[in-house]
Amino acid sequence: MVDKILAEYGAVVLDRNAKRLVVQVDDKQLRPLAEKLFESGFYYANGVGVDERGLGHDFAMYHVFASEKDKLYLVVKVSTSNLKLPSITPVIPGSNWAEREAMDMLGLEFEGHPEPERLILPDDWPKGVYPLRKEFDYNERPEFVERKPESTPQRTDVVQLPLGPYHPALHEPEYFEIHVDGEVITDAKYRGFHIHRGMEKLAEGRLTLNQVPFLAERICGICGFTHSIAYCQAVADAAGLDWPERAKYIGVILLEIERLHSHLLWVGVVFHLLGFDSGFMHMWRIREKVMDIAEALTGNRKTYGLVLIGGMRRDIDESRKNWVLKTLTELREETERVSKDIFGMKELINRIKGIGVLPKEDARALGVLGPVARASGIDTDVRRDHPYLAYDKLDFKVPVYPEGDVLARLLVRYDEIIESFRLLEQALSEMPQGDVMIEDYTIPSGRVGLGATEAPRGEDVHFVITGVESKVYRWHPRAPTYNNLPSVPIMLRGNNIADAPIIIASIDPCFSCTDHVAIVRKGKVIWKGPLGEGVKQVGR
């Protein structure tokens, strides 16, 4: 089916394997092709601008589309010699941020973009300096320009309520400006990217291929390991490496341990936000044992540091297997027992039922991912749709709830906790013997690779172009909150102000991963320009 569409728009196949396809199209064909792909079930997964002058080409934009139905990642490349490209945001809203990111970082121009404003670079960053161009050194510090203070006009018709820049529960910098009419939220704006860390530049400029996994693991303070796996899978994809079976099972075990502790942490935080601290304590009591398992298996509670391009650095100690299995069984029973008591508390359930609703259509247009998508009736899971590691050999269910409210998001994650226990039991008992690492490999340069994993918060997509001398030419990780955050303003509208913290927390946001400003209403961008301007627009 895809091939037919691609042929129709004159796409040239550059590289293909069973899981992903790289094609190049003419810039005139890009927008109609993107529209067609969106109509036939693809969502927008990642967008990467690349300065390809070092490879003997021009500048290029790689749009990555994904389809659960076709079980395929489709990488569409468009080149430009004059920095101008057509924007596809008018046909796929999900590409909004990715295009603006390429604008900021590389100086590409997207014609027809509804909101061509800065996203990532701060206001005091000089114009015309593009950090991801190759001539910009990783340790260069440009002269900052004077920043004009924003005059935020006070509105008299609505009350503007700032939430942030630190979230009361998540201790991370984000800023929501909430407009309320009485108790009811009429609109919300998000502003972020306060903590962009320039990781891509660091990786391209200073690190070697096998050092990047350790940086990738630090993208997130909770689910970092899945990033390091996604990166290594991307390089392995570019070089055509296939890990030993045992390494794949170890990967699954650690990823599911990570999901368990991440979900248990989130459930705890949600209870805490609801003022239900004993539930919070119980969840974190259980989680602590999961951390112990991680520590025993990897040498650390959180940063496992176990993966390199060729596979796993260390094997799992077989003598600990029985202890791990026994502990997991106990923890599962404990989780089920405690949760039964908690779900039996009607006041708690009624508190989160029917609030923060995200309709399915909005979710899809924005490319919402992971548990947030599954709670809005979208049946998606990278582990099942684009199997990696050993997931194709394991049996698990993908929970989907159609309600789209905070309760549904809780239930999805609860079901996933139970499924993770099942996956762990299977993987630990079925794990084959053998090597855990391939030592002998060469990485060809100038090759495109894609790695995708189902992180606890949704799909992580890492895009890599290999370079010379054991370096990455380009690395672009995309964390799930990048896609999920734009849906929060939709969830907030029409709800009571008292529900805002729990609604924001319900996407399990991770700002340091995302760090990126968008104002979206019903999937459409309603505002362009600085925040102060945006405030003026609302209510018109």
Partner 1 sequence: MGRFGLIFKSIAKGRVTEKYPFAPIELPEGFRGKPEIDPEKCIGCGACATVCPPSAIQIHVDEEQGYKTIDLFLGRCIFCARCEEVCPAEAIRLTKEFELAAASEEDLHQVVKLKMAKCAGCGRPFDTVRHLQFIAEKLPEEQKPMLALCPDCRAKLASKILTVAARRHR
Residue 282 contacts partner 1 per CB under 8 A: yes
Using CA atoms, how far apart are residues 257 and 301, in angstroms rounded to an integer?
A: 10
Point out which span in 35-43, 192-200, 211-219, 508-516 binds partner 1 (CB under 8 A): 211-219
Residue 310 contacts partner 1 per CB under 8 A: no
Residue 278 contacts partner 1 per CB under 8 A: yes
Residue 324 contacts partner 1 per CB under 8 A: no
Residue 322 contacts partner 1 per CB under 8 A: no
Peptide bond between residue 371 and the one before it cis (omega within 30 degrees of 0) = no
Residue 215 contacts partner 1 per CB under 8 A: yes
Point out which span in 48-56, 337-345, 408-416, 460-468 binds partner 1 (CB under 8 A): 337-345
**Minimum distance, C-beta of residue 338 to partner 1, in the bound complex (Å):** 7
Closest by CA to 14, choosing from 64, 76, 60, 56, is 76
Q: For Cα atoms 120, 462, 106, give the angle at the middle one, nearest 5 degrees.
A: 35
Residue 340 contacts partner 1 per CB under 8 A: yes
CA atoms within 13 A on the CB side of 12: 8
Burial annotation 413-449 (CB, 10 A radius, 16+ → b, else e): bbbbbbbbbbbbbbbbeebeeeebbbeeeebeeebbb
How many other CB atoms sit within 10 Å of the CB of residue 493?
Answer: 17
Residue 285 contacts partner 1 per CB under 8 A: yes
Residue 539, SS3 per DSSP: coil
Range list of β-strands (E), 208-310: 307-308
**Minimum distance, C-beta of residue 501 to partner 1, in the bound complex (Å):** 23
- Which member of 11, 207, 485, 517 binds partner 1 (CB under 8 A)? 207
- Which member of 7, 345, 468, 498 binds partner 1 (CB under 8 A)? 345
Point out which span in 205-213, 250-258, 382-390, 486-494 binds partner 1 (CB under 8 A): 205-213
**Minimum distance, C-beta of residue 308 to partner 1, in the bound complex (Å):** 9
- Which member of 129, 169, 338, 437 binds partner 1 (CB under 8 A)? 338
Residue 352 contacts partner 1 per CB under 8 A: no
- Which member of 40, 80, 160, 211 binds partner 1 (CB under 8 A)? 211
Residue 470 contacts partner 1 per CB under 8 A: no
3-state secondary structure 167-198: CCCCCCECEEEEEEECCEEEEEEEECCCCCCC
| Token pair recorded at residue 421 | 């226990």
The nearer residue to partner 1, 30 or 307, going by C-beta atoms, is 307
Q: Which residue is listed with tokens 């060469």?
A: 442
Determine how β-strand 43-51 pairs with β-strand 20-24.
unpaired
Which residue ranges make up the site for partner 1 (CB under 8 A)? 207, 210-211, 214-215, 218, 278-279, 281-282, 285, 288, 295-296, 298-300, 303, 305, 313-314, 317, 337-338, 340-342, 344-345
